[in-house]
Amino acid sequence: MKALRRKLLAWYTENRRDLPWRRTKDPYAIWISETMLQQTQVETVIPYYERFLERFPTVFALADADSDDLMQEWAGLGYYSRARNLHAAARAVAYEHGGVVPDDVAGLLTLKGVGRYTAGAIASIAFDRPAPIVDGNVMRVLARVLDLHQDVRSSAMQKRLWEEAGKLAQGERPGDLNQAIMELGATVCTPRSPECLLCPIREHCQGLANGDVEKLPVKSKAVRQKKVEAVCGYLTRRGTVLAARRPPDGLLGGLWELPGGDMEREETPEGCLERQVRERFDLGIKNAAGLGKVKHVFTHRVLTLHVFQAEVGAGRVRRADYDAHRWCTGAALAALPLSAVAAKALAMADPGNPAD
């Protein structure tokens, strides 16, 4: 274990990528980066991270942020529950902890949205606590080095991996050690065609010695993605467009969109739009015209979204299901915090006012 730590740290010192969150020990900035990096690639995160910290440079700035402003900065990054949880946790840190981010795993785990991995990352990187982390890269490296053939999604294997990561974290520079394992998995010990000849710990890799590297890690099959069809409408009345905000919880929570919803079995897209507008706003539509389809892949859903343009009849809005609504210009709608799929639909419906 000592030899592994020594070689990993030496390799990391010489080969680590220059990433913006590696230039700071500010626990708030590290917390933001680790939250954004969950299930999102480094290259995608960098510009979001830099813009986010420019807009919300301190935990107090984030705690006091308007939810729409926050979601605007997060729009397009996906997994929007991360942003909502981050906002709630920032308020707790600002007003219950005096603006001081907890410096140990136990304290960090009390914050909404902070799980075992994020707590370990913040504690080790920002505060030099010997706290382990286990993510996809760490699982792959450890499974290969130790030649472990159990399913990494099983509880027994998860327990083993956290134990092994915990052993590695004991010693000097635990934050750098944790980042070194992740870096190795991201750049050398990759899922396919790992560059074993460049690996600093190849002499210790039992999987390489036994010819098992390409077989590891063992993973059970992921849940099959569900195919879903839905509709949305660019609904106009007297020169304005109807925008709707989703409830704060659930898929795409807190984001604005063109009104609509999922289709029922054997329902036509136009019939679905009429039903959704009636049920959700107590309004009728006329002159509906199909504009095309948008396809978008979520973690467990493959969405086909039918986009329409239609006029809304007279009547007062009686809203259901949505959190808020407003009548606005196309430009104002494009400036609202929209999900990636809503931005695609708006670009199709109103090419003159595409969302950023």
Residues catalogued as catalytic: 34
- Closest listed residue to residue 87, CA positions, set 66, 63, 56: 63
Q: How far apart are CA 75 and CA 339, in angstroms?
A: 5
Q: How far apart are CA 136 and CA 41, in angstroms?
A: 12
User: Please, which residues have CB within 8 angstroms of residue 135's CB and are 6 or more apart in sequence?
Assistant: 117, 182
Residues 35, 73 contacting (CB under 8 angstroms):
no
Residues 243, 330 contacting (CB under 8 angstroms):
no
Tokens representing 124 are 């080790």
Q: How far apart are CA 247 and CA 225, in angstroms?
A: 24
Phi and psi, residue 136, nearest 5°: -60, -40
Q: How far apart are CA 38 and CA 80, in angstroms?
A: 11
Length of the chain, please? 356
The residue with tokens 């505060």 is: 127
Tokens representing 65 are 């942020």
Tokens representing 253 are 């929570």
- Closest listed residue to residue 103, CA positions, set 33, 9, 28: 28
User: Please, which residues have CB within 8 angstroms of residue 178's CB and are 6 or more apart in sequence?
Assistant: 120, 121, 124, 125, 131, 132, 133, 138, 165, 169
